[in-house]
Amino acid sequence: MSKQAILGDNLPPQLIEMMGDNLEVVEWSKNTDDAALAHCVGLIAFSHPTADGPLMDRMPNLKIISNHGVGVDHIDVAAATARNIPVGNTPGCLDASTADMTMALLLSVARNVLVGDRFARGPEFTFHDPSILIGQEVTGSTLGIVGMGRIGAQVARRAKGFEMKILYHNRNRCPELEGELGVQYVDFDELLSESDFVSLNCPLTTETTGLISTPQFQRMKRSAILLNMARGPVVDTDALVAALQCGEITAAGLDVTDPEPLPRNHPLLSLENVIVLPHLGSASNRTRQRMMEMTVENLLAGLEGDTLPYPVHSN
């Protein structure tokens, strides 16, 4: 029996092995020709490449789009729905690891972990000086969470362990979490002005694109720290650079950027008061293992014409 072709970008060997012997991978790039695309019956979006209507039109035999991750802003779900192509993602399994990384960034930026590491390795560190690298206290500080979904709720649970006051802003209030965790719903401007740490844990949508820009930085405390665990375009990159350079906010921790990756000469990469990670929110061993399993489960279900176990619905 001939193998079915699956379009995929940089798929790791472990994921390919999970797919089984009856599937073969066609490497996805801007140079993939029409004949190869037309041959493919499935598509795995591993590194967040763009899957839009024109691409789908070049794939007349496409039965399923399976996304490795939760966010599907790089996939035109409406276009897929219009073409009767189901889209699957990997919800739930990465909430804890992404919340862990949110707290890791928060602590690292607040307590000068990377700056301190570089200093400790450098020639200037010849004696202990208690007056340098004084960071911000985390315990008892105010955390503002933008996006109280599954990940935001996990962040709140961790922040409670640091006795933080937790404010949140969301499209809808979450009374059950207010009761369980003591989080307080506030409007967006109040969250910005009252928070010592602002954590972005929202999806990228039309409404959240450019959510944080110059007016928002001006509302924040000058001592505030911004954490972006959402998507790069939620933050206006030029406005962020200006805010960090002029001291409008104290620092930032970024798991995502816009663009991603940043050009190697980008001014954000030269600033000491920002930590930039290469999109590591879900990059823990157990989480990535489960993400690959869910990606393959969606793929195989779609190829069989079955209901996806983890479907994405068009809004």
Domain containing residue 26: 4-91+286-312
Give the pLDDT confidence score for residue 315 in this predicted structure: 67
Kindly report the CATH number assigned to the domain that includes residue 301.
3.40.50.720
pLDDT of residue 314: 78
> What residues are paired with 169 via a beta bridge?
146
Asked whether residue 270 falls in the same domain as residue 292, the answer is no
What domain count does the chain have?
2
The structure's pTM equals 0.92
Q: Are residues 87 and 99 in the same domain?
A: no
Question: Residue 313 has what pLDDT?
Answer: 87
- pLDDT at position 226, please? 98
* Domain assignment present for 281: no
- Could you tell me if residue 210 is left (phi over 0), alpha (psi between -120 and 50 degrees) or otherwise beta? left
Instruction: Give the separation between CA 138 and CA 251, rounded to whole angstroms.
Output: 14
Q: What is the pLDDT along the chain (315 residues), one digit of tens a residue?
A: 579 999 999 999 999 999 999 999 999 998 999 999 999 999 999 998 999 999 999 999 999 999 999 999 999 999 999 999 999 999 999 999 999 999 999 999 999 999 999 999 999 999 999 999 999 999 999 999 999 999 999 999 999 999 999 999 999 999 999 999 999 999 999 999 999 999 999 999 999 999 999 999 999 999 999 999 999 999 999 999 999 999 999 999 999 999 999 999 999 999 999 999 999 999 999 999 999 999 999 999 999 999 999 999 876
Q: How far apart are the first and last CA of the chain?
A: 39
Shared domain check, 127 and 14: no
The answer to whether the CB of 23 falls within 8 A of the CB of 61 is no
Q: How far is it, in rounded angstroms, from Cα 169 to Cα 113? A: 29
Do residues 308 and 226 share a domain? no
Q: Are residues 52 and 179 in the same domain?
A: no
Task: Give the residue numbers marked as catalytic.
Answer: 231, 260, 279
Amino acid 125: pLDDT: 97
Q: 11 and 128: one domain?
A: no
* Counts of helices then strands in the chain (DSSP H, E): 12, 13
* Residues 101, 28 share a domain: no
**Angle ∠(104,196,189) on CA atoms, nearest 5:** 120
Residue 303, token pair as written in the block: 């190829």
Residues 86 and 104 in one domain: no
| 159 part of a folded domain | yes
Tell me if the bond preceding 259 is cis, omega within 30° of 0: yes
d(CA 7, CA 66): 10
Residue for token pair 């503002």: 144
State the pLDDT at residue 126.
97
Q: Which residue type is seen at 215?
A: P
